[in-house]
Amino acid sequence: MSSHAAAIMPAPRARLTATTLPTPTPAPDEVLVRVRAVAVNPVDWVIQGTSRVTYRWLRTPAVLGSDVAGDVLAIGANVTRFRVGQRVFGLATGTDRGRDPLREGAFQDATVLSERLTAATPASLTDEEAAVFPLGLSTAACALFQPAHLGLPLPSVDTADGDAGVVVVWGGSTSVGMNAVQLARAAGYEVVSTASPRNADLVRSLGADAVADHGSPTAVDDLVAAIGSRPVIGAVALGAGSADACIDILARTGGTRLALASTPYSLAGLVGRRRLFPAMIPTFSRIGLATARSMLRARRRGIRAAFVWGSSLRDDALGPRLWGEVVPRLLADGRLRPPARADGRRHRTRGDPERPRPAAGGGLGAQDRGPTLIAAEPERGVVGDLTRARQNGPMVSASPHLQPDHACLIVHGSDTPGIIAAVSALIARQGGNIVAFDQYSDDPRGGAYFQRVVFFRPDLAAAFPEIEADLAKTLGDGFELEWTLTDLSTPKRMAILASKQDHCLLDLLWRHRRGDLPVSIPMVVSNHTTAAEDVRSFGVPFFHVPSTPGPDKSASEARILELLVGNVDFVVLARYMQILSPDFLEKIGVPVINIHHSFLPAFIGAEPYKKAKERGVKLIGATSHYVTSDLDEGPIIEQDTVRVTHADSAAELARRGADVERQVLSRAVLWHAEDRVIRHGNHTIVF
């Protein structure tokens, strides 16, 4: 099974962590999409900041995010509107009740979308422009067209412009509001709206006939005057105070329907608080009281009010009509445009100083804000917290060792003529170009053969299954070979086990942050808490699993296995001072790499450098090896030494030894992550 990079929330209210996940197979009526761009919406950082307080059904680990644009990698049964390779955008619903947040979240390189909530991206839109649509568009459509809300007819080809009545959109420059203005106009209604003076022209350019300053004390009177005697169908309320303002407008103009598309107060104050519940009580009390008051006011005036939930389109007959018919038609004829394009601006990608300020609106009580755009880059993983992302841009961990559309093929087995020719012909046949080739035979007369090939193949992810099938057929016909094929754009998931000595642990975290290691680090597990804060400062989850007293380590090992199994591709023991049992090594099911000072056979026990000093050694060094059930006798990956003299103290030996350990372990990790190490018996071949 192939895998892909993802930014997961490993636990409730935790920072996002770069990791890899198995790439899912689309079920019937689903499409698997390679993500090219996503947008961060306010609900994303609210979910992260409050987690089960507001989304009590959400299990972790979870992938957040709703807005996706990319291209189709695979389609499930019954999918008729899309083909592999086609550019699409759609609404990811992984954080909804009953959904799978790892399969269906947006913040990963590959995600599953429902065909019902997906549309083809026209050539006129970039992926970045398409990615700002899904959640805002869906929420606006629910408010306008669902029978429980305004119940308007969907836009059609021959809809007359502006003769069906008036729709009020309070908060026209929010992401939902900008879509609501355009959709209502396309459905044949006049639109009156609100915005700040700074964004009034933007909202007018989207189709609003009149725009009042939402901060003005006369805003309600201004809109009522603009409406005049024309019939009002209903209102969409977005932003703090919007519900009461819309009720006043509807009561004075005869409108009877109100769609509440935001909470009356922002939840932003809850995000990131260490003590959540003391802050939650007054916030939710204010929201509850304000909502109850508004609903009662609406009922007394004969107005039907209801809350909007954008992802309800998944199980609604409106969803496939909107995404399959209406949205493509409106994009094609120019009646639906990315809001940023309306006034000549474009959404900026990560790191661009001219990017519009990040979102805190679109349904959370704020005005004049839309989703924050993040252009997905296959070689990068998003790490950190969305609260910081919306303020400063996403925290990223990039590695030049990760290569999009590059694959690594490892072949080993019995040497025989024709292996190189068969592999080279296969890669050429599959449209690949070899960029690195290493091979070794310990005996050309039928000995053991080893090969590592890196090749470039455009659109590798889509071709990956076909290449694997070709390899199975080609190398299985007349050869005695084993092989593995790896996508070099996907980092391996590396867990670290550590104890009190932190020099190797912190070195790996530092190298990872610099992008020197093509891995993700989903967790650090330690039997001590001394490094907890340092680890978390790198944005990596820290788990404390105390060692079980006595010789029986089964309880602590069982807890570690719960954390690791299925979530990592290999494990590094960064001076983890516990012996792992054969049972643990069997159950973990992935390679385990260890580092130790090379004196262990001669200087067993504690303080090896003190004993080395007393012995008068002239060389000290370190060894990194794979862990087996035979203590410190696994296949060696890397070794190194430094020369010392009688003048070096025990402390100096320890310092210089720690330097060697860091270097040796980091090289071993890098080589393993790049698939340069092939195990053969109890030794290794390193290309």
CATH of the domain at 264: 3.40.50.720
What phi and psi, each to the nearest 5 degrees, are found at residue 639? Answer: -140, 155
pLDDT at 303: 93
| Rounded mean pLDDT, 89-110 | 90
More confident of the two residues 609 and 685: 685
Report which of 610, 622, 598 is spatially closest to residue 652, judged by C-alpha positions. Answer: 610
Look at residue 606 and tell me if it is in a domain: yes
Domain count across the chain: 4
pLDDT at 280: 66
Tell me the per-residue pLDDT of 353-372, one tens digit each, with 9 for 90 and over.
222 233 323 333 333 344 54
| Rounded mean pLDDT, 635-654 | 88
218 shares its domain with 254: yes
pLDDT at 645: 86
Look at residue 361 and tell me if it is in a domain: no
27 shares its domain with 101: yes
Tokens of 459: 């659109």
Tell me the per-residue pLDDT of 524-548, one tens digit each, with 9 for 90 and over.
999 999 998 888 888 788 888 888 7
Look at residue 253 and tell me if it is in a domain: yes
Look at residue 401 and tell me if it is in a domain: no
What ranges in 62-215 are assigned the alpha helix state H? 127-131, 134-145, 175-186, 200-205
More confident of the two residues 370 and 327: 327
Q: Domain boundary at 459, 487, 515, which?
A: 487
522 shares its domain with 571: yes
The CATH number assigned to the domain holding 98 equals: 3.90.180.10
Per-residue pLDDT band for 338 (boundaries 50, 70, 90) equals confident
| Rounded mean pLDDT, 251-270 | 81
Alpha carbon separation from 648 to 331, 602, 604, 663 (Å, rounded): 74, 19, 21, 20
465 shares its domain with 498: no
Concerning whether 632 is annotated as a catalytic residue, the answer is yes
pLDDT at 318: 87
**Segment among 33-47, 140-154, 481-495 with least mean pLDDT:** 33-47
* pLDDT over 70 (residue 149): yes
151 shares its domain with 103: no
pLDDT at 291: 82
* Beta-bridge partners for 452: 410, 438
pLDDT at 611: 74
* pLDDT over 50 (residue 121): yes
* pLDDT over 50 (residue 343): no
Rounded to whole angstroms, the Cα distance separating 34 from 376 reads 10
* pLDDT over 80 (residue 613): no
> Which member of 29, 470, 632, 640 is catalytic?
632
514 shares its domain with 593: yes
Report which of 192, 9, 180 is spatially closest to residue 108, judged by C-alpha positions. Answer: 9
504 shares its domain with 651: yes
The CATH number assigned to the domain holding 465 equals: 3.30.70.260
Residue pointed to by tokens 């290691």: 517
Look at residue 555 and tell me if it is in a domain: yes
Tokens of 198: 């700074």
Per-residue pLDDT band for 159 (boundaries 50, 70, 90) equals low
pLDDT at 536: 84
More confident of the two residues 129 and 607: 129
- The answer to whether 232 and 250 are in contact (CB under 8 A) is yes
Look at residue 335 and tell me if it is in a domain: no
Tell me the per-residue pLDDT of 647-679, one tens digit each, with 9 for 90 and over.
888 888 888 888 999 999 999 999 999 999 999
Find the radius of gyration of the CA atoms of the chain: 30
More confident of the two residues 400 and 327: 327
* pLDDT over 80 (residue 584): yes
496 shares its domain with 483: no
Report which of 237, 235, 292 is spatially closest to residue 260, judged by C-alpha positions. Answer: 237
Share of the chain above pLDDT 90, in %: 47
pLDDT at 311: 66
> Which of the residue ranges 51-60, 158-167, 200-209, 359-368 has the most confident prediction, judged by mean pLDDT?
200-209
Q: What SS3 class is residue 618? A: coil
Per-residue pLDDT band for 603 (boundaries 50, 70, 90) equals low
pLDDT at 432: 95
- The residues, any chain, with a CB within 8 Å of residue 172's CB and separated by 6 or more, are 178, 180, 181, 191, 193, 194, 195, 199, 203, 206, 208, 211
Tell me the per-residue pLDDT of 442-497, one tens digit each, with 9 for 90 and over.
988 889 999 999 999 998 888 898 999 999 999 988 899 999 999 988 889 999 99
579 shares its domain with 671: yes
142 shares its domain with 167: yes
**Segment among 288-297, 299-308, 543-552, 611-620 with least mean pLDDT:** 611-620
Per-residue pLDDT band for 107 (boundaries 50, 70, 90) equals very high
* pLDDT over 90 (residue 182): yes
pLDDT at 359: 31
The CATH number assigned to the domain holding 549 equals: 3.40.50.170
Per-residue pLDDT band for 213 (boundaries 50, 70, 90) equals very high
| Rounded mean pLDDT, 516-525 | 90
pLDDT at 471: 94
Q: Domain boundary at 434, 453, 487, which?
A: 487
| Rounded mean pLDDT, 512-517 | 87
Per-residue pLDDT band for 143 (boundaries 50, 70, 90) equals very high
Look at residue 614 and tell me if it is in a domain: yes
* pLDDT over 70 (residue 79): yes
Look at residue 320 and tell me if it is in a domain: no
* Beta-bridge partners for 21: 4
pLDDT at 372: 47
As a whole number, the mean pLDDT across the chain is: 83
The answer, yes or no, to whether the previous bond of 61 is cis (omega within 30 of 0) is yes
Residue pointed to by tokens 């065909």: 115
* pLDDT over 90 (residue 30): yes
pLDDT at 453: 97
Range of the domain at 477: 406-487
pLDDT at 347: 33
Q: CB atoms < 10 A from the CB of 347, how many?
A: 23
* pLDDT over 90 (residue 261): no
- The answer to whether 233 and 163 are in contact (CB under 8 A) is no
* pLDDT over 70 (residue 228): yes
Tokens of 472: 């199975």
656 shares its domain with 510: yes
Per-residue pLDDT band for 378 (boundaries 50, 70, 90) equals very low
- DSSP code per residue over 558-607: HHHHHHHTTT-SEEEEES--SPPPHHHHHHH-S-EEEEEETTTTTS-SS-
Q: Domain boundary at 276, 291, 315, which?
A: 315
* pLDDT over 50 (residue 193): yes
* Beta-bridge partners for 436: 454
pLDDT at 271: 55
306 shares its domain with 164: yes
